[in-house]
Amino acid sequence: SAVISQKPSRDICQRGTSLTIQCQVDSQVTMMFWYRQQPGQSLTLIATANQGSEATYESGFVIDKFPISRPNLTFSTLTVSNMSPEDSSIYLCSVPGQGANGYTFGSGTRLTVV
Partner 1 sequence: GDSVTQMEGPVTLSEEAFLTINCTYTATGYPSLFWYVQYPGEGLQLLLKATKADDKGSNKGFEATYRKETTSFHLEKGSVQVSDSAVYFCALIGSSNQFYFGTGTSLTVIP
Least spacing, CB of residue 95 vs partner 1, in Å = 11
Query: How far from 40 is each of 5, 6, 8, 88, 90, CA to CA, in Å?
Result: 24, 21, 21, 12, 10
Least spacing, CB of residue 97 vs partner 1, in Å = 8
Where do contacts with partner 1 occur on this chain (CB under 8 A)?
Answer: 6, 33, 41-43, 45, 92, 94, 96-97, 100-108, 110
> Across-strand partners of 78?
21, 68
Rounded distance between C-alpha atoms, residue 112 and residue 58, angstroms: 23
Least spacing, CB of residue 16 vs partner 1, in Å = 27
State which residue, 50 or 104, has the beta carbon closest to partner 1. 104
